[in-house]
Amino acid sequence: EYDFLPVVQNENLFTALSERGIEARFLKFIGAGHGLVGVTGDLPEDVNERFELYGAQEQIKWFRDRLK
């Protein structure tokens, strides 16, 4: 299955932000594609769910930390 959003675009954005002194965090989930679901379909369903849950928790934390 083809992942339509190459991870290198996100890596480049993270690098550009960091080089400008902008706080950034980049999480890379090995084997996961866009939406944190396994690209090749070989990840167990519980792994996909854990990736999605962790990703959502990190996004919520980011907003809570910055929108005080």
7 contacts 28 by C-beta, under 8 angstroms: yes
Whether the per-residue pLDDT at 26 is higher than 60: the answer is yes
d(CA 64, CA 42): 34
CA-angle at 37, arms to 19 and 4, nearest 5° = 65
For residue 38, the tally of other CB atoms under 10 A from its CB is 17
Which pair of tokens denotes residue 10? 């996100």
pLDDT digits (tens, 9 = 90+) for 4-15: 677 888 899 999
* E strand segments, the chain: none
Give first-to-last CA distance, the chain, whole Å.
Answer: 40
Q: What is the pLDDT of residue 18?
A: 95
